[in-house]
A and B are shown apart, each in its own frame.
Chain A
């Protein structure tokens, strides 16, 4: 062993982390096949993260549902700590408050990372809905607050915001909520499984990237993708 190996004290940092928040619509309109497939896709997603060594160490997953209320059913956790999420249909669609909660969670998590000296990737917020918000409408102050925070947050690189519509989702409303640079996607049929496979692959690729390495993701709206970008 050389003199430097004997004398220099090396710090061992934690793995860089990738905070990811799923914001899931569990309103009454999701009842039936949709919520069953969403649940199954979510389980497959968590299984896939657990099967990837780096993703398991680096992805911090939080899950928020919005139905009767906004609930953080899973606070930020490594994939192997996530309990089997139980999703049940509820009334109302408080999407606006759920988005705000997700953005707050991300900021809180980044503060924790910084306090601990942990490097981190840009957080992801992934909204999935088949409807339209019941707690905010265009022109209302709360709408402006929520949409403004999403657009500013994306522009200022505080997070990546993905909006995904399912079935009869109001894509016009989603287009206004989503950042202008990342229009909302409409899920083909109910391909939740494909969506979550893509999400786990994307997070795995980010997790496997070195510090300083930029990552190109598969286009979810490509020919084999699970989503389309509605033009109307």
Chain B
């Protein structure tokens, strides 16, 4: 596995993490229905390099949801590679296009399989980040947590609904109205993307007003910021997800992907706020 960032090199995105099968699916000899991936889009034309993270959680009630989740993640990464880099003002449109491409490909796949789109239903999260900021598009449960260089934690997106087993997936007809996009200007900020199997281990509060817990996120960010090798860091995170502590917390599949900016020098923070909406940018 190649390195996605090099400490010491100016503003280089570094990502690591992965998805592991929970006890619920493991005990039934069923595969993990979470999918995750990441990539770096090199900087050019004066734009910085972008880190791209895509995560999807196949719905338990959808028989081919693992395939749907993996398809959505693959398409998101491909779409981001094609679209980036762009000016900050165009990020919202790029995120929407990524989600739309992922959805359309999943719907095409359902026709190829001769099944309902519902059978391939999954949540969907795509995060784009650079030394200038962090942006996310999100539908379904799970959450995206950002951190500034002072250690302040922000819940960037967590659009899960009120009830535990009622999620609007990417394949739903009403997907546009449920899609959440958010952007935070944050110099050299860090980000964690996680599926619902990890959320209660990491956050407190009601499901529609989650609050990230520093006791969970601070050691995680500190660890990743100190790492140079993507493969070993990902192995450590996946070992953590498979460990007794996380297994005791939830029997669901679990995904954590962390993105940080490795810098040559300490960076100045220029936080200016968070924007979030369910509005269709089209």
Contacts and interface: CB of A to CB of B under 8 A. Distances in A.
Interface string B213-243: 1011001101100000000000011011001
Contact of B164 (A8, A9, A12, A16): A16
Contact of B204 (A5, A11, A113, A214): A11
8 contacts: A5-B245, A11-B204, A11-B213, A206-B165, A209-B164, A211-B141, A212-B60, A213-B60
Contacts of A206: 165
B61 A12 contact: no
Contacts of A113: 206
A120 interface: yes
A16 B143 CA distance: 18
Interface of B: 24, 57, 59-61, 123, 140-141, 160, 162-167, 196-197, 200-207, 213, 215-216, 219-220, 222-223, 236-237, 239-240, 243-246, 248-252
Contacts of B201: 10-13
Nearest to A6: B219
B165 A7 contact: no
B163 A4 contact: no
Closest 5 CB pairs of A and B: A213-B60, A9-B215, A7-B219, A4-B240, A13-B200
B216 A9 contact: yes
Contact of B60 (A4, A117, A119, A210): A210
Nearest to A11: B201
Interface of A: 1-5, 7-13, 16, 113-114, 117, 119-122, 157, 206, 209-216
Contacts of B163: 120-122, 157
Nearest to B245: A10
A211 B223 contact: no
Contacts of B123: 212
B147 to A, nearest CB: 14
Interface centre among B57, B163, B239, B249 (most CB of A within 10 A): B163
A122 B166 contact: yes
Contacts of B205: 117
Contacts of B141: 211-212
A200 to B, nearest CB: 18
A119 B197 CA distance: 13
B196 A11 contact: no
Given A13-B201, A211-B164, 6 more contacts: A2-B240, A3-B236, A5-B239, A5-B244, A8-B245, A11-B204
B61 A11 contact: no
Contact of B206 (A2, A8, A117, A121): A117
Contacts of A16: 164
B239 A2 contact: yes
B252 A2 contact: no
A119 B164 contact: yes
B166 A214 contact: yes
Nearest to B226: A3
Contacts of A211: 141, 164-165, 196-197, 250, 252
A120 B196 CA distance: 14
Contacts of B250: 211
A8 B240 contact: yes
A5 B165 contact: no
Given A11-B249, A211-B141, A212-B57, A4 B200 contact: no
A157 B196 CA distance: 21
Given A210-B24, A211-B141, A211-B165, A1 B243 contact: yes
A9 B215 CA distance: 5
